[in-house]
Amino acid sequence: MSTKYRFRDKYRIQLRERDHLPPHVHLMGGGLDVMISLETMEVMMGYAPALIVQEAQEWIRAHREELLEEWKRWHP
């Protein structure tokens, strides 16, 4: 598991080495475990307040290519 980004002193975005398809990241922290698709940028599973999801999606969108490249290295 690799933390890629931390924000609001509570939340983090993680990319997991041993995970399942489709490509996604986890938004964790404060009792949250939300899966966000790297392909569609939509929440796949879980719940978080809209502002937290939006902030996470903005960062993921800005770093999407590098996240997908890393996903592909770990999940050939």
pLDDT tier at 18, thresholds 50, 70, 90: confident
Q: What's the predicted TM-score (pTM) here? A: 0.93
**Which pLDDT does position 30 carry in this prediction?**
92
Round to whole Å and give the CA distance between 49 and 13. Answer: 15
Per-residue pLDDT reduced to its tens digit, 42-75: 999 999 999 999 999 999 999 999 999 999 999 8
Q: Is the pLDDT of residue 1 over 70?
A: no
pLDDT at 76: 81
| Long-range contacts, 11-14 (Cβ 8 Å, 24+) | 11/52, 11/56, 13/56, 13/59, 13/60
- Residue 68, domain extent: 2-74
Where is average pLDDT lowest: 9-13, 16-20, 34-38, 50-54?
Answer: 16-20
> What is the tally of structural domains in the chain?
1
